[in-house]
Structure 1
C-alpha cells in the first residue's frame, strides 16, 4: 500500500506547480491511443512535473513521450478490461476525490487568515481561569436564557469584588467539575489547545481582566486571564521517578526523598549513567526500560511543575536537582529542545489542525454564503410555512430501525404502512460484483438511476405522524439556486431523515434550522459536483489519480505480483539468465581492526599461540575495550577494497585504514560463480518483473494503435 500511495500521490504534484489545463483550440490533441484523444496540456503537465529543472529539448520530449505512451497504453488496457467500473476502484477513487476536493470547498482567503492567526497566537502562551455554565446539546430558548442569566449573575459577583476561585467553587458556581480543586485555573495553554471561541476570548482579554460571557459547545464561560508569556517551544527529556503521594506515611515520604537524593549523588559523581539509573531505579514502568525517555512535549502536556523544571534546564544533557510533584520525586535530563517553528515550518501541521477544529466550520460557512450569492439563491418562506404546519410534537418521539435488507429494486417503496405505523425505506447501498457500495443519497427515488437490480435498504419506523395526504400536495419550491429547485417535498424528506428523539423545541426554530442545513448541504453538493467543470486543474488532478489507480492495479496484476507468484516462470527465467546473477570473487575472512601497530603485533603473537576470533579480541581488550574489534563473514572487494590481492590463507600484513591497522585472517578465496536462485531471488524477481513489463508493453503496442502529432509535441516549450 505504501508503494501504491506513492505512485498515486505523485500525481498531485502537478497541482502545486500551477499547471493549468487549457480549453478549445488552445489545447490541441497531441496523440490518440486506440482512438482516445490525449491533449497537449495533459502531457505537458506530467512532463513538466517530472522534469522541473531540465530544459525542454526535442530529445527530452521524445524520450519522455515513450514513457508516456507506455503509461497511456496500460491505462487503456485497464479501461478495456472494465477495471474503471469495478466497485473497489470506484470506492477508492471517491475516497481520494473527497480528500482532494476539500481545499476547493472552503473560503481559501479566510482559511489563510485563520492560519496566520493561529500561528501568531501560538507564539504566546496564556494562563487563565474560567467559570462554566453548561448548556444541553439542543438547548431551548428558555435553556439559553436561564444559562445567560446565571453566568451574568456569577460575573456580577466577581466584578463586585468576590474572589474568582471562591465563586467558581461556590454552590451554583462553575459546572466544570475540576473547579472544586483548582478554582477554575486551567494553567498555561496556547493556540489550538482550547475550543476556538474560548481561545479567541482568552487571547482577546488583557491580563488581570474578566471577559464578557463567551459561548462554546459546552455552554457559557467567563474567563479571567492571569498571565502571558512567550511560547516555550518543545522539549524532550528523560526522567527518573520515585512514587510518593501526600497521603503516604511521613516515614515513606522521607525514605523516597532520601533515595532520590542518593540516585542524584550517583549521577553527579559519574558513578552511573542516567539511562542505567532510570532502568535500575525509576518507578515509571512506561519509560524506565527506555532510559526514562519521554516523547517530545510542549506546554499543557505535563504537570506544570514538571514542565517548569524541564524548560529551565539550560542545555542538552543538563540534569536537574531532585524535585517533587503530586506524583512523586523526579530527576530530569534534557535531551533535545526545539524553539517555536517559523510560519512556513508550521503551516502543514496548523492546516491539519484547523481542518479538524471548529475553525473549519467558519471557512465552510463563509464559502457557502459566497456560493449562495454566486448562485443567486432564492428562498420562499411562505412555501416553507406550509411544511412547518405539518410538524408537531410527534416529531420529537423515537422511531425504530429494522436491520439492513437485500431487496429487488422494483419492490422498493419510499413510504408505506406496517403494523398500522408509517415506515420510511432508506437506500443504504447497492451490490456491485458482490460488494456493498454505500450510497450518498438516502432517497428511494434515486434507485431509478441505479443500474443494479439488487439493493440494500433499511426500514425505519417513523415517530413523526403527519397528514400524508396533505403532504402529497406540497410540491412548491422552498429554495432555488443555479437552476436547482428544492421543493416542499424535499424539505419533508430532509426533516424525516434527520428525525431523532430529542427535547422538544419550537417548531419554527426546528424547521428553520433544518431548512438552512438542507440548503447549505445542497449548495455545497452542487458546487462539489461542478469542481471538474469549474477548475481545469482539479479535473486534471482527478484524471491523474484515476489513471494512477488503474495503472497500479493492472501493473500489480500483470507484473509485480505475477513475478512473485509465478514460481515456474521465475525459475525458467533464472535458468536462462544465470550469468546475469554472478557472485564477484568473495573472501571468507576475519577482519581484525587494531588501534595501532603495537596491538597488531600483540595480535600476531596470540594468533601464533592458537587464539582465534572473539577469544583473541577479548584477550587484546583486557586493558582497553577499544584496542581491537572483529568482523567475520564473506566479503567482496566492493565491500573492503583492501582485500584486493590477498590470496594466501592466514594473516595478512598490516594494512593502514582510517588511522587504524587492519589484519586479515584469510580462510578461503571463492572464485566468481553463479548465485543460486535463493541467493539471488530479489535480483532475479526484479529482472523478471522488468522482462514481464517489456513483453506486456510490446503486446499492448501491437494491440492498440497510437497516433502522434509531432507538430503539437514539439510546440511544447
Structure 2
C-alpha cells in the first residue's frame, strides 16, 4: 500500500474595517497564484501541494505505474477522500488520537523553538576554544547564588580588594595569603580546555590575555579572579595503560624503598620482553580497577586527571606502543604505555559532539535567553508595572517556610502582568499560582531572588508557548510537516477501523470471500522437507550423508554444530515449487538433493518427502493470504463507495501544466 503525506498551508486573517479592502485584494492575488488541480465537493486542492507531495515521494515509489502523474493523481484523490471520511467520522476527536498527535506536535515544535544562529555561534565558539588549552590560577570567594544582597556585596568587595593587592604583590603571593580552605580558595588549575569549567569562568579564562588578571567574575560558586599563565594548542586525548605500585608520603622508608624496587623490577621485565605489558599490569599493578583490563585507563585529556605529573608523562609519549621509565606521582610509582592518540578533529568531525555537550551545559540557557529576547521584540511584549507592584506586595518571607498563599479571588490579582502581541494577556494570578506550587519543592533562601528567577522562567515559557501556538501560521515547513503527520495518523486509524480489524474479525465475510475465490488458494506441487543451510561445502556433504542415512534432525545438529559455532541451520517445513525458502536452482523431488552453493560460504541440502499433486488449500492453510486479499477487496469496495458519494472535479488545464513541470 502506498502511503501519502499531505501538506496544507494555514493562513490566519484578522478582519477589521480598516484592512478589509487590502485583505480582499491580497486574497484575490493569493487565489490567482494558487491554482486548483482538483476539488472534492467544491473544496479545492491546490497544484503546489500536489506537486510538492509528488516530488517528495516519487523516489520512494516502487510501482512504476504510480510514477505516472495521472495514476498518481487518482491515488492522491483516494488519499484525500480517506482523510475527509476520517474527519467526518470524528476520528480526530478521539482521546487516543489527540494524545499521540499532541505529543508529536510538541516534539516537532522543539526543533523550531530555538535560535539556530545563536546555537551555531556557540558551537563555533566551543570549537575555537577546543583548539586551545588555558593554564590558569584563580582566587574564589564563596557566596551562594541565593545569598542576601549584603553577603553578595561583601563577597564582591573582597574579590576586588584581592585583585588590587595581587596587582601589587603578585598573584601567587596573594593567592597564598588569602586561601583559608573554607570560604576563600586559591588554586592552581593547570591546563584545561572547553567544557572543563563552568561557562562564565571558561569565557573569562579564554578572554584574558596571558600574564594578566581578569576582572571579577560571578559563577554559581561565588566571585573569582583568574590569572592566565599560558595558552597552548590542544594536545587532544590519549588512551593509555599503566602499572602502578602504590606509595605515599606516609609510608615508612622501607615501604617506600620496596615500592621503588618493585616498579624497577617490572620495568626490567618489560624492557627484556619477559611478559606483555598487559600481563605485567594484571600481575603487579596495585590499581586493581585497571589491572583486570591490562592496565587500560579511560580516554582522557589535559585537566581530566587528578595528577598533572601522570598527565605530563603520558603526553610525553610519541607513538603507540611507547612506554615511560618508572616515575613517581602523588599516588605511587608508574609505568605508562601509550595505546592510542586522539587529536582534535575538524569542525565538521567535532560539531555533533559539541552540540550535544552544549545542550547539557549551562551555556544552553544563553540560546534560550537570546531567542526569547528576539521573540519579545517580534511579539510586542509589554510589561504592566501595576501588575508587578501587586506581585511585590503579595509575596513575603513565608515562601521560605513553604507556607505562602494568596487570595485568588482578590480583584488585584486579576490585573494584567504582561501582554504578548496585543492578543494574549497574562494575569498576575497565573504567575502567583505558579509560585505557590514551586515553593513546595524549592529551598528558598532569598525571596526576591526566588520570585525574580521564577518570573524570568515564567515569561520565557509563556513566550515560547505563544510561539508554538502560532508556529503553523508563521512557518509553512512546520505547517506542512505537522499536517502530514496528522493526516497520516488519521488515515492509520481509519484503515484500522474500516479495513484491517474487519478483515481479521469478520469470520463470515472472510469465509464467503474464500469460497468465492478458491482458485487463488491452490497448493502447487509440494512436499514435507528438511532444509539445511550450511557454512561450508564440507559440512553440507556431511549433512547430505546423514540425510541419506535417515538420521533425525536432532542427531544431525548435534553432529555438525558445537557449543561455540553453528555450522548448519536446519529447519523442517512444507515447501512448494518456487518456495523462497529453498534455492532457485532446486527442483522439487523426493529424496536428498545435491549440494547447492548459492553464494560463497552458503550451501544448501534439502531432503524432501513424497511430492503431492496440486490441490485446494484449506482456509486455515491460506488464512494469511486470504486476509490480505480480503483487506484489498474491502478497501477497493470502500473507495468505490467514497467516490460515488462525492463530486470530484479535475482541472485538466492545470493537470497538463503539472505534467510538464514534473518531467
TM-score range, shorter chain: 0.5 to 0.7
1:529 to 464, 469, 486: 469
1:348 to 339, 349, 352: 352
- 2:214 is paired with a residue whose SS is coil
Matches of 1:130 and 1:700, distance apart in 2: 76
**CA separation of 1:53/1:700 partners in 2, compared to 1, >3 Å: closer, same or farther?**
closer
Does the aligned pair in 2 maintain the 1:132–1:222 contact within 8 Å?
A: yes
Matches of 1:584 and 1:67, distance apart in 2: 42
Matches of 1:258 and 1:688, distance apart in 2: 79
Matches of 2:439 and 2:261, distance apart in 1: 63
- 2:224 is paired with a residue whose SS is strand
Aligned to 2:270: 264
**CA separation of 1:86/1:648 partners in 2, compared to 1, >3 Å: closer, same or farther?**
closer
Does the aligned pair in 1 maintain the 2:396–2:447 contact within 8 Å?
A: no
Matches of 1:504 and 1:540, distance apart in 2: 48
Matches of 1:64 and 1:519, distance apart in 2: 48
1:244 to 236, 246, 262: 246
Matches of 2:325 and 2:496, distance apart in 1: 59
Residue deviations 1:617-648, cap 9 Å, x none?
Answer: 9xxxxxxxxxxx9955669999999999xx99
**CA separation of 1:390/1:60 partners in 2, compared to 1, >3 Å: closer, same or farther?**
same
Matches of 1:581 and 1:494, distance apart in 2: 74
1:228 to 215, 227, 231: 231
1:709 to 650, 655, 663: 650
Does the aligned pair in 1 maintain the 2:141–2:158 contact within 8 Å?
A: yes
**CA separation of 1:568/1:476 partners in 2, compared to 1, >3 Å: closer, same or farther?**
closer
Matches of 2:332 and 2:388, distance apart in 1: 60
Matches of 1:584 and 1:291, distance apart in 2: 55
Does the aligned pair in 2 maintain the 1:375–1:481 contact within 8 Å?
A: yes
Does the aligned pair in 2 maintain the 1:132–1:174 contact within 8 Å?
A: no
User: Is 1:140 matched with 2:148?
Assistant: yes
Residue deviations 1:76-115, cap 9 Å, x none?
Answer: 6665665534444434433333333234333333333222
Offset at residue 194 of structure 1 (A): 2.5
2:382 to 378, 385, 395: 378
Question: What is the 5 A alignment of 1:611-626?
Answer: none
User: Is 1:217 matched with 2:156?
Assistant: no
Residue deviations 1:138-170, cap 9 Å, x none?
Answer: 233212201101222332343232553872685
**CA separation of 1:633/1:226 partners in 2, compared to 1, >3 Å: closer, same or farther?**
same
Aligned to 1:47: 54
User: Is 1:357 matched with 2:361?
Assistant: yes
Does the aligned pair in 2 maintain the 1:74–1:700 contact within 8 Å?
A: no
Residue deviations 1:582-635, cap 9 Å, x none?
Answer: 8999986987789xxxxxxxxxxxxxxxxxx99x99xxxxxxxxxxx9955669
- 1:153 is paired with a residue whose SS is helix
Root-mean-square deviation over aligned CA pairs: 5.9
Offset at residue 549 of structure 1 (A): 4.4
Residue deviations 1:476-500, cap 9 Å, x none?
Answer: 4443342233445555545545546
Does the aligned pair in 2 maintain the 1:256–1:329 contact within 8 Å?
A: no
2:372 to 362, 368, 374: 368
Aligned to 1:538: 478
Matches of 1:686 and 1:160, distance apart in 2: 89
User: Is 1:202 matched with 2:205?
Assistant: yes
Aligned to 1:412: none
Matches of 1:564 and 1:333, distance apart in 2: 64
Does the aligned pair in 1 maintain the 2:171–2:227 contact within 8 Å?
A: no
**CA separation of 1:232/1:670 partners in 2, compared to 1, >3 Å: closer, same or farther?**
farther
**CA separation of 1:385/1:589 partners in 2, compared to 1, >3 Å: closer, same or farther?**
closer
Matches of 1:73 and 1:291, distance apart in 2: 67
User: Is 1:253 matched with 2:192?
Assistant: no
Offset at residue 536 of structure 1 (A): 1.5
What TM-score do the two structures reach when normalised by structure 1?
0.63
Offset at residue 366 of structure 1 (A): 2.4
Q: Which moved more, 1:244-253 or 1:688-697?
A: 688-697
Matches of 2:173 and 2:504, distance apart in 1: 69
Aligned to 1:480: 419
Does the aligned pair in 2 maintain the 1:264–1:321 contact within 8 Å?
A: no
What TM-score do the two structures reach when normalised by structure 2?
0.67
Does the aligned pair in 2 maintain the 1:242–1:260 contact within 8 Å?
A: no
Aligned to 1:417: none
Does the aligned pair in 2 maintain the 1:75–1:547 contact within 8 Å?
A: yes
Aligned to 1:436: none
Structure 2, unmatched stretches of 5+, are 10-28, 539-555, 572-578, 614-621
Matches of 2:92 and 2:333, distance apart in 1: 62
Offset at residue 520 of structure 1 (A): 4.2
Structure 1, unmatched stretches of 5+, are 1-6, 15-21, 400-462, 595-612, 618-628, 675-683
Matches of 2:530 and 2:372, distance apart in 1: 70
Matches of 1:556 and 1:293, distance apart in 2: 55
Aligned to 1:161: 169
